[in-house]
Each structure stands twice: as structure tokens, then as C-alpha cells.
């Protein structure tokens, strides 16, 4: 069905209005035509009715067409305007187009074909302009929304940054507090341990069996508390980036055997077997022996703590890439897969309740993880609830160090660790008691 167009003709000449009306009718335009004879009536009509097109005479009795167009545009009345001009008013028509007219036509050229064509073009142009204006408005609104969202995101980012700074400061103060308290508490704890050891010496005092038992409990609990304090102090140093490795050449076999011997009494107290298997062609490592021992103590302590019956195995062997693997396996309670991702987090324990069966700070595995990463190594976990766990660490035979007791640099040559002097023009071939070590 053809669209019915609402058309307004503004002209003070009845003959000209009739000419427009007949031309449009002859062209077959389906329309509702309204006519007014002056500018004021035109303004009133356009304010009250939406028209598809207006045919406007330039010369009206109360004002000219240019003034009327300017008034319409300033009033935000948007409608296609076709100005009808007299002969010779082409320059005026150009000014009208600049003021907002859609098109113009000389009255001498009014015909059904011409008028219908101009009508269609004016409506098409107007609608295209309206669509473009709507699209631009939507773009502006979207742009303004994006600006507001960006401002909100920036505000949130600044808030998050501020919160991060506060959290970092709180973490720094917490680490500083932990380090200070641990350091301060270690002094009286060392005194308690020292005096307890003196009291247990036979030549110092003759204690009854009950007194000896009480002093031994003081000593054991003091050592346990000192171990917890040392964990907190080490963790605070790790957080602050103040813990450094002190690498030196050492025999890994001796460190493992010594550590296992120290831990064996704890395993025997729970009737656990503690087995060691070492398969190393060259036991020498350039690493921090104190920290390697600390890793072993923590892993063995956990294995003993969480194993009620059965065995604990320590397996040491060489792997590719000049690395050494140390695995500690137990037949303990095991760890659920859902807890794997949290097991190395600081202060995290599988049982977080205050009535938990297994005590501790929850820092041991976090410290181990940090130390192994500092050494350039990796740590792996295999576990099954009720069947036990296996922690395996892989560390390089040599950790990087700029200076280590006068040794300039070290590298692996396939047979052993080769140590180069700081002066590249000096060298030594003296051995250190091991056939694979060259100095």
C-alpha cells in the first residue's frame, strides 16, 4: 500500500497553491494536503502537526522565506523544505539552502513530473539526514557512556591501587613485626634451652627422675618453639627479599645422612621405619648446605608428623641437566587433590581449625617452595588420601653466585664441577679430596 504523505503548502498566492496541488495530484502522489498563506500560520501548523514535506513560497506577506527557515531550524522543527522561488532568485535560493532548505524550485518550472521528483528526493534526503543524525546521537551517547565507564574504571583502578599500597604497607609492617618479635623471642628461648641442657648434665646437678623428665619437657618444648620462631623469621626475610643463599661446595650425601640421623629418633618414637637410598656418582654440590638441610628437615618433619604407621623413604638420585632429585615419600594421611593448589601457601594448613590434630605455623612448605625456587629448582607433589604423599624437589648441582669464598665462577664440564679463579690468567690443579673436583 502506497504511503500517504502529509504535505503543507505555504503561499499567499491562491493560484500558485492550486498549481502545486494539481501537479502533485496529477503525479499520483497519495497525500493529505494542507495550505496556509503566511509565515505565522505556517509556524503554528508545523508546531502542531508533523509533515512529510513543506513547499514554501520565498516571498510571504509577513516575513521572507529565509527568516522563516531560520525560525523553524532554531525551533528544532525538522521537516523537508522545498522553497518555491520566482524567476531570477537563484542566488537567494543558494542562501536558503545554506540556512536549512532541502531543495528549491522555480515556480516557472512547476510540473507534475518535476514536483514529484523533487518531493521524493527531499523526503529521501531528509530521512537519510535523520538516520545519520540518529546514528550520530547514538554514537555520542555511546561515547559519553564509554567516557563515564572509563572514568569509573579509572576511579576503581585508583582505589585498587590505593588498596594495594595499603595492603603492601600492612604486609611490610606485618613482616617487620614478625621479624622483630621472632628475633626478640629467640633470645629468651635460647636461654631456656641452654639452661635446660645445663641442668641435664650429670656433673652439674643430680636430678630425680621426675625432675629430669620435667627439664627434658622444657628442653623439647623450647626447641619446638625455637623452630617455629625460626620459621616465622625465615618467612619474614623471604617476604622482604632479605634472605640470601650462601653457596659453598658440600657433600650432599653427608648432609642427607646427618639430617636423617637427627630425625630418626622422632620416627622411632612413632615406630616408623626411615629408609634412605642415595644413588649419586658425584655427591658434591655448589649450593647452600644450611638451606638444603632446612628443606630436608621440614619435609621429613612433615612426613613423620602426618604418618601414624608404616614407613618413610628418602630417595636421592641424579637426573639430566646436571640436576639432583630428592624425594621423600611416606605412608601418611595423604592430601586431597583439591588442596594441592593451596598446600604451598603461607599460613595455610589442610586443617585450619584451632582444634586441629597436627600443630604448626603452616609456613614450612611455603618456605621450602621459596627456597627451592631461589635455587632455580622445582618441587613436585604426588598424594592420595589415606595412601601417603611424595614430595620431590629437583635442584641444580650449581646455583649462580658472583662470589663464593674467593671462587670466581663455577661450571659443569661433564666430569665434575670446575672452579675458575677470579683472575682469568691464574689457575690451580690442586684437588680437594675428590677425583672429580678440579680447582
Q: Where are the domains of the chain?
A: 5-110, 168-240, 248-420
Task: Please write the tens of the pLDDT for every residue from 66-122.
Answer: 888 888 888 888 899 998 887 666 677 778 888 888 888 888 888 999 998 999 898
- Cell (9 digits) for 278: 642415595
pLDDT value of position 387: 87
Task: Please write the tens of the pLDDT for every residue from 285-319.
Answer: 999 999 999 899 889 988 998 899 999 999 999 99
pLDDT value of position 205: 67
Residue 390's pLDDT band (cuts 50, 70, 90): very high
C-alpha 213/C-alpha 202 separation (Å) is: 14
pLDDT value of position 355: 40
CB distance 313 to 329 below 8 Å: yes
- Angle at alpha carbon of residue 153, lines to 150 and 156, rounded to 5°: 150
Q: For 9-13, 152-156, 421-425, which range has the lowest pLDDT when averaged over its residues? A: 421-425
Taking alpha carbons only, the member of 294, 339, 330, 334 closest to residue 311 is 330
As its CATH architecture, domain 5-110 has 3-Layer(aba) Sandwich (3.40)
Mean predicted confidence (pLDDT) in 161-172: 85
Residue 9's pLDDT band (cuts 50, 70, 90): very high
Task: Please write the tens of the pLDDT for every residue from 30-39.
Answer: 999 999 999 9
pTM of the complete model beyond 0.75: no
Taking alpha carbons only, the member of 416, 374, 410 closest to residue 395 is 374
- Which residue's entry shows cell 523544505? 81
C-alpha 102/C-alpha 129 separation (Å) is: 10
pLDDT value of position 276: 93
What's the whole-number average pLDDT of the chain?
A: 81
Question: Rounded to the nearest 5°, which phi and psi values hold at 398?
Answer: -135, 125
Residue 167's pLDDT band (cuts 50, 70, 90): confident
Residue 413's pLDDT band (cuts 50, 70, 90): very low
360 or 439, which is more confident? 360
Task: Please write the tens of the pLDDT for every residue from 184-205.
Answer: 777 788 888 888 888 888 777 6
Counting other chains too, the contacts that 208-213 makes at CB distance below 8 Å and 24 or more residues apart are: none
Residue 432's pLDDT band (cuts 50, 70, 90): very low
- Cell (9 digits) for 208: 630425680
C-alpha 201/C-alpha 205 separation (Å) is: 7
pLDDT value of position 87: 64
CB distance 369 to 381 below 8 Å: no
Equal CATH topology for 5-110 and 248-420 = no
Domain 248-420 class in CATH: alpha beta
- Cell (9 digits) for 196: 635446660
CB distance 251 to 283 below 8 Å: yes
**Percent of the chain residues topping a pLDDT of 90:** 34
Amino acid at each position: 500500500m502506497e504511503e500517504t504523505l502529509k504535505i503543507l503548502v505555504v503561499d499567499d498566492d491562491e493560484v500558485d497553491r492550486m498549481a502545486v496541488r494539481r501537479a502533485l495530484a496529477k503525479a499520483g502522489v497519495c497525500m493529505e494536503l494542507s495550505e496556509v498563506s503566511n509565515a505565522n500560520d505556517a509556524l503554528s501548523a508545523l508546531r502542531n502537526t508533523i509533515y512529510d514535506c513543506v513547499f514554501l513560497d520565498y516571498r510571504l506577506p509577513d516575513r521572507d522565506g529565509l527568516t522563516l527557515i531560520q525560525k523553524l531550524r532554531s525551533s528544532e522543527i525538522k521537516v523537508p523544505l522545498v522553497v518555491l522561488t520566482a524567476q531570477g532568485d537563484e542566488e537567494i535560493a543558494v542562501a536558503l539552502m545554506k540556512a536549512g532548505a532541502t531543495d528549491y524550485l522555480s515556480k516557472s518550472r512547476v510540473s507534475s513530473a518535476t514536483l514529484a521528483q523533487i518531493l521524493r528526493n527531499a523526503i529521501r534526503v531528509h530521512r537519510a539526514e535523520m538516520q545519520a543524525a540518529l546514528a550520530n546521537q547514538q554514537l555520542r551517547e555511546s561515547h559519553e557512556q564509554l567516557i563515564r565507564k572509563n572514568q569509573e574504571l579509572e576511579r576503581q583502578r585508583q582505589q585498587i591501587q590505593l588498596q594495594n599500597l595499603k595492603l603492601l604497607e600492612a604486609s611490610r609492617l606485618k613482616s617487620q613485626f614478625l621479624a622483630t618479635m621472632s628475633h626478640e623471642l629467640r633470645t629468651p628461648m635460647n636461654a631456656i634451652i641452654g639452661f635446660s641442657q645445663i641442668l641435664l648434665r650429670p656433673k652439674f646437678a643430680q636430678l630425680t627422675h621426675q625432675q629430669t623428665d620435667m627439664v627434658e619437657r622444657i628442653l623439647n618444648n623450647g626447641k619446638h618453639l625455637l623452630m617455629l620462631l625460626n620459621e616465622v623469621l625465615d618467612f619474614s626475610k623471604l617476604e622482604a627479599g632479605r634472605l640470601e643463599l650462601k653457596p659453598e661446595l658440600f657433600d650432599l650425601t653427608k648432609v642427607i645422612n646427618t639430617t636423617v640421623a637427627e630425625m630418626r629418633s622422632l620416627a622411632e618414637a612413632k615406630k616408623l621405619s626411615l629408609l634412605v637410598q642415595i644413588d649419586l656418582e658425584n655427591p658434591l654440590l655448589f649450593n647452600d648446605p644450611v638451606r638444603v638441610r632446612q628443606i630436608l628437615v621440614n619435609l621429613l618433619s612433615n612426613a613423620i608428623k602426618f604418618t601414624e604407621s608404616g614407613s618413610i623413604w628418602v630417595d636421592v638420585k641424579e637426573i639430566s641437566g646436571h640436576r639432583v632429585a630428592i624425594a621423600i615419600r611416606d605412608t601418611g594421611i595423604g592430601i586431597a587433590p583439591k588442596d594441592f593448589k593451596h598446600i604451598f601457601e603461607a599460613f595455610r594448613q589442610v586443617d585450619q581449625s584451632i582444634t586441629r590434630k597436627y600443630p604448626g605455623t603452616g609456613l614450612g612448605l611455603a618456605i621450602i617452595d621459596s627456597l627451592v625456587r631461589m635455587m632455580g629448582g622445582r618441587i613436585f607433589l604426588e598424594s592420595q588420601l589415606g595412601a601417603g604423599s611424595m614430595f620431590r624437589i629437583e635442584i641444580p648441582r650449581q646455583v649462580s653466585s658472583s662470589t663464593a669464598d674467593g671462587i670466581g665462577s663455577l661450571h659443569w664440564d661433564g666430569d665434575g664441577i670446575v672452579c675458575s679463579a677470579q683472575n682469568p690468567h691464574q689457575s690451580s690443579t690442586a684437588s680437594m679430596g675428590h677425583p672429580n673436583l678440579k680447582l
